[in-house]
Structure 1
């Protein structure tokens, strides 16, 4: 069982703290360590898989917790933050839906078959 959580953000994102709160709450609820790697998508050390995601994005074992079409193209210098919103029922919310984070972590915690 491997669990790797990543939070991808832009420095100008007003919702990154709320995304951190969701991660902390879900980890506490599921009784898993509240440990994740944070990637500033604008930084030189940001890995390629996280560079062109909107902010905030949460990955569990490399998979986006709320996959969908990502119309992001390569970031242009000085292009500013890439804010991301999520659908939860009929609502549009600024952070990954809690239920999706719970589901992704639960899936990652399942024993490997094979």
Structure 2
């Protein structure tokens, strides 16, 4: 996968590339709160069932923002790839959650 010219991988290498330098741990995060309108619609969906599209969109936006921030951190470290990428979530307040993305920044050739 590619992000703004950065090679991205959730495994410990980039297939076909050689790691020549480790640049360190990089991360990005975002904290998002639930939106009343989405919360209301989610409550209705709980009655009839189905995908909570508002929450799916919120999580997709959050993952992209956290990943973009991680990529910016890797660019600042001189890396051209990030390996072993992982996502984590945690509740930080009632109705708000952090989405955290992290990996190892490396230079490959």
* The two structures share one fold, judged by TM-score above 0.5: no
Select the structure with the greater relative contact order (CA < 8 A; seq sep ≥ 6): 2
**TM-score of the superposition, structure 1-length normalised?**
0.28
